[in-house]
């Protein structure tokens, strides 16, 4: 099985891009992966060293030590960062079955997947080794975001890339079946926790769920969404497509909607109830309706659902801001990346006071005409008088090059928030620069430009 798999996987990986791109988007970047090592078997000792003896602080799985199968971050002897999944001891009692499945999945190589690099099977230990993906799961970014909700364009990109990943797996599995009578295992438990974002901010589908779930030697699945699985207990390709439909609704709503409830909302054509309020104004009604239509076709009760090739074709026309890199849409900074700055930002970065002065003067940053007049109408309160005094003291300190005092006075003025003064932001920006606080200076320079 391993040799046949390698031959047919190689056919899909080399020369031309995979069938997804050939059929749909010939100009798209090729999807073969050339810098990954071949699949290998590791010793338990190698993986113990890679994870610092499976240290608790290296656990990266969502539920920590309480998860039935724990994922650790590790580093191989060549310093390559990896994710290592350690199965519960009751899982995979059949050594041969585990190795066969791991080797088969390890033949897959695609930029839409978190690729499997190796495995370990010693005694009762069963472990999988994959590339480490640094930027959290879709569940984190979609349901538990800290700074900003995921943009509409990025949600559509996730839908497309995951459909492409599943189409790739399906294509290779179909080719293998024609030759060997056996295809690759179906994707188990497709959900927002199975999708991770790489260093470029691109979404990738975890390879771990291409392995059958096993508990006490018996295969099982926690994917209980599809009606036919509830009836038969068997995962089929149609079941995976049903799960993909629920994923589309997660992307649309920003929360996990139970499939039965989602179907009711779709039948009522209640797009507003389904849509994440954070997406207001980011997409047209036609695009939203089309995504709901695609999701609805995946969620049909009877297993007459579209295949992934047709889903990829349907999702392409919905892609927005295709020229914008994923890490920009996601707000993810990349190590060593050179930021594209405005002329003002470049001048701040270089601490070029002459250039900063010329830019500010060109933009019209002079004393805020009318500021004193506007404040004079409010000077019947001690607070407003104190605010004006803070600005005047700041101006005096700035002229005397007492930049620390200027920062303190201008901050008091800004924090009151009674009026907006681009000049104060510009003066405080220069004061920060002269006080060796470049990030604060850049933030104020942006505020000054924005509020002018």
Q: Residue 417: helix, strand or coil by DSSP?
A: coil
* Mean pLDDT across 7-29: 34
Alpha-carbon gap, residue 167 to 20, rounded angstroms: 7
* Mean pLDDT across 47-53: 97
* Mean pLDDT across 237-251: 90
Give the global pTM.
0.68
Q: Residue 93: helix, strand or coil by DSSP?
A: coil
What pLDDT, on a 0 to 100 scale, did the predictor assign at position 113? 96
Residues carrying an active site annotation: 189
Most confident range, picked from 201-215, 239-253, 294-308, 414-428: 239-253
Specify the residue for token string 């799961």: 137
Alpha-carbon gap, residue 304 to 324, rounded angstroms: 36
DSSP states along 180-210? HS--PPPPPS-SGGGEEE-TTS-EEEESGGG
Per-residue pLDDT of 166-180, as tens digits, reads: 999 988 877 776 677
* Mean pLDDT across 385-390: 74
Most confident range, picked from 128-132, 371-375, 437-441: 128-132
Most confident range, picked from 4-13, 298-307, 346-355: 298-307
Largest CA distance in the chain: 89
Strands (E), 227-308: none
What pLDDT, on a 0 to 100 scale, did the predictor assign at position 385? 67
What pLDDT, on a 0 to 100 scale, did the predictor assign at position 189? 81
270 band by pLDDT with thresholds 50, 70 and 90: low
Higher per-residue confidence, 287 vs 438 = 287
Query: How much of the chain exceeds pLDDT 70, in percent?
Result: 72
What pLDDT, on a 0 to 100 scale, did the predictor assign at position 371? 43
Strands (E), 225-359: none
What pLDDT, on a 0 to 100 scale, did the predictor assign at position 339? 44
Most confident range, picked from 30-39, 149-158, 428-437: 149-158
* Mean pLDDT across 314-341: 81
Per-residue pLDDT of 180-235, as tens digits, reads: 767 676 887 888 999 999 999 999 999 998 887 655 544 455 545 677 777 877 77
Distance of CA 319 to the CA centre of its chain: 16
Higher per-residue confidence, 119 vs 380 = 119
Strands (E), 202-326: 203-206, 213-215, 218-220
Higher per-residue confidence, 240 vs 270 = 240
What pLDDT, on a 0 to 100 scale, did the predictor assign at position 344? 65
The dihedrals phi and psi of 420, each to the nearest 5 degrees, come to: -100, 130
Per DSSP, 400 falls in state T
* Mean pLDDT across 133-159: 93
| 281 pLDDT higher than 60 | yes
What pLDDT, on a 0 to 100 scale, did the predictor assign at position 57? 94
What pLDDT, on a 0 to 100 scale, did the predictor assign at position 445? 82
Which of 106, 109, 126, 127 minimizes the C-alpha distance to 117?
Answer: 106
What pLDDT, on a 0 to 100 scale, did the predictor assign at position 153? 96
* Mean pLDDT across 82-96: 90
Rounded (to 5) percent helix, strand, coil in the chain = 50, 10, 40
Residue 347: which H helix or E strand, with range?
helix 343-349
Least confident of 114-118, 207-211, 268-272: 268-272
What pLDDT, on a 0 to 100 scale, did the predictor assign at position 50? 97
* Mean pLDDT across 43-49: 97
Higher per-residue confidence, 133 vs 367 = 133
How many of the other CB atoms lie within 10 Å of CB of 439?
A: 9
417 band by pLDDT with thresholds 50, 70 and 90: low
Q: Which residues contact 363 (CB under 8 A, 6 or more apart)?
A: 449, 452
Per-residue pLDDT of 423-444, as tens digits, reads: 888 889 888 888 888 888 888 8
Distance of CA 366 to the CA centre of its chain: 43
What pLDDT, on a 0 to 100 scale, did the predictor assign at position 164? 97
| 21 pLDDT higher than 90 | no
Least confident of 47-56, 360-369, 416-425: 360-369
| 314 pLDDT higher than 90 | yes
Burial class (CB in 10 A: 0-12, 13-18, 19+), 336: exposed
Q: Which residues contact 393 (CB under 8 A, 6 or more apart)?
A: 405, 409
What pLDDT, on a 0 to 100 scale, did the predictor assign at position 181? 64
| 149 pLDDT higher than 50 | yes
Q: Which residue intervals of 81-204 are DSSP H helices?
A: 95-106, 138-143, 152-180
């Amino acid at each position: 099985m391993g040799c046949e798999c390698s031959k047919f996987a190689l056919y899909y990986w080399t020369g031309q891009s995979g069938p997804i791109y050939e059929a749909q988007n010939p100009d798209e970047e090729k999807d073969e992966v050339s810098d990954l090592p071949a699949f290998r078997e590791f010793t338990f000792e190698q993986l113990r060293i890679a994870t610092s003896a499976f240290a608790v602080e290296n656990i990266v799985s969502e539920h920590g030590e309480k998860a039935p199968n724990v994922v650790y971050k590790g580093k191989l002897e060549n310093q390559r960062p990896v994710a290592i999944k350690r199965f519960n001891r009751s899982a995979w009692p059949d050594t041969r079955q585990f190795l066969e499945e791991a080797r088969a999945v390890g033949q897959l190589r695609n930029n839409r997947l978190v690729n499997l690099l190796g495995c370990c099977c010693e005694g009762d230990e069963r472990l999988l080794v994959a590339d480490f993906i640094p930027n959290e799961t879709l569940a984190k970014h979609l349901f538990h975001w800290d700074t900003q909700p995921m943009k509409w364009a990025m949600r559509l990109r996730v839908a497309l890339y995951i459909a492409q990943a599943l189409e790739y797996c399906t294509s290779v599995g179909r080719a293998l079946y024609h030759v060997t009578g056996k295809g690759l295992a179906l994707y188990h438990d497709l959900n927002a926790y199975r999708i991770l974002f790489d260093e470029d901010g691109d979404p990738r589908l975890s390879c771990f769920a291409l392995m059958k779930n096993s508990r006490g030697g018996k295969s099982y699945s926690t994917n209980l969404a599809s009606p036919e699985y509830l009836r038969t207990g068997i995962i089929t390709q149609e079941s995976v497509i049903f799960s993909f439909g629920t994923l589309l609704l997660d992307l649309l709503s920003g929360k996990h909607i139970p499939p039965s409830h989602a179907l009711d909302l779709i039948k009522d054509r209640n797009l507003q109830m389904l849509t994440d309020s954070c997406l207001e104004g980011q997409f047209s009604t036609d695009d939203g309706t089309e995504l709901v239509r695609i999701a609805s076709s995946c969620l049909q009760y009877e297993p007459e659902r579209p295949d992934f090739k047709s889903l990829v074709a349907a999702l392409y026309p919905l892609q927005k801001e295709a020229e914008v890199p994923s890490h920009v849409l996601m707000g993810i900074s990349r190590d060593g990346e050179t930021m594209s700055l405005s002329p003002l930002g470049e001048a701040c970065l270089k601490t070029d006071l002459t250039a900063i002065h010329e830019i500010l003067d060109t933009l019209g940053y002079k004393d805020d005409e009318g500021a004193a007049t506007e404040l004079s109408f409010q000077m019947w309160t001690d607070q407003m008088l104190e605010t004006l005094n803070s600005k005047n003291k700041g101006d005096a300190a700035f002229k005397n090059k007492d930049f620390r005092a200027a920062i303190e006075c201008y901050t008091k003025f800004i924090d009151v928030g009674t009026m907006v003064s681009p000049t104060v932001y510009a003066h405080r920006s220069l004061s920060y620069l002269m006080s060796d606080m470049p990030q604060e200076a850049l933030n104020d320079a942006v505020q000054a430009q924005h509020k002018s």
